[in-house]
Copies of this chain bind each other. A is one copy, B any other.
Amino acid sequence: MTLLIAHLGPPGTYTEAAALAYVEKMARETGQDCLLHPYPTIAKTLQAVAQGQVQRAVVPVENSIEGNVPMTLDTLWQLDELQIQLALVLPISHALLSTAEKLEEIQKVYSHPQALAQCQDWLAKFLPNAQLISTNSTTEVLKNLEREKTAGAISSQRAAQLYQLPILAYPINDYPHNYTRFWVLSLDASPGGTHTSLGFSVPANVPGALVKPLQVFANRQINLSRIESRPTKRSLGEYLFFIDLEADATQPFVQAALEELKIHTETLKIFGSYSVLTAPLDFTNQ
């Protein structure tokens, strides 16, 4: 049976490139056929797999320059039962796509807020007067970009080829070492691996509420490779915590830590244990 894979679209996004890396891995290792299915927003991509319309969803989680992707963490917390199958790390190299002949003609720049932020110094230097327009993805406007001669879009070289749009400037990201981590999510149980991700809330207004959950891991010498907080959206100073452990939840001592964690948290969600695949440097530019 063909595996349906939802990703943030339309075609040409970095998330699609991550989904293609996953498809390649699946074909190589299991001979599994896959079919990509683009969705207009991160929230809709995740809802598609939660509602069983597709079997997998690929979404961006965090970028090495701009940090976490709030919509992914907030939606994942709301949707129950999604489990991480794999983490994918992709190099990100942004181009300015436009049919304008010179930079000076550009009055508007479209892109996803993460891409706009990753190029903020370049934009301030070369296009200080351009309007920066937030879009749902780096490719949302590309099919209509040709009609706007004074507009540009921040997207990939791969997207430029796909939509046959000229590249006016490249690379334009402020930091050369720009990577994004993606997760492949599914209703299936996670496979186990080097990393475990979880989210939890703690009882409000209890002193030491965050100390106890962290001590559960400290006591067992389990390293946290990442900790993010997101507002609960109930009251300022109340957070959800998203933690990545360098540990496999299928191991008994990690399982014991997670059992103990339940006592010290209000709501605890385990997003699964998985391995990390780093795609080669030229993957997104192929």
Q: Which residues of A line the B interface, CB within 8 A?
A: 62-67, 70, 89, 113, 116-117, 131-135, 175, 177, 179-181, 207-211, 214-215, 217-218, 221-231, 233-237, 239, 241, 246
Task: Decide yes or no: A67 and B231 within 8 Å by CB, A113-B113, A214-B214, A218-B215 being known contacts.
Answer: yes
Provide the bound-state CA to CA distance between A223 and B207, in Å: 6
Contacts A131-B133, A132-B134 given; indicate if A227 touches B207 (C-beta within 8 A).
Answer: no
Q: Which residues of B contact A214 (CB under 8 A)?
A: 211, 214, 218
Which residue of B117, B211, B233 contacts A70 across the interface (Cβ within 8 Å)?
A: B117
Q: Tell me whether A64 and B223 are in contact (CB under 8 A).
A: no
A67 touches B66 (CB 8 A): no
- Report Cα–Cα, A67/B77, bound state, in Å: 15
Give CA–CA (A189, B230) in the complex, Å. 30
A209 to B231, CA, bound (A): 25
Point out the residues of chain B lying under 8 angstroms from A89, CB to CB. 236
4 A-B pairs with the lowest CB-CB distances in the bound complex, closest first: A64-B236, A179-B236, A132-B134, A211-B218
Q: How far is the CB of A244 from chain B (nearest CB, A)?
A: 9
Distance A147 CA – B272 CA, assembled complex (angstroms): 53
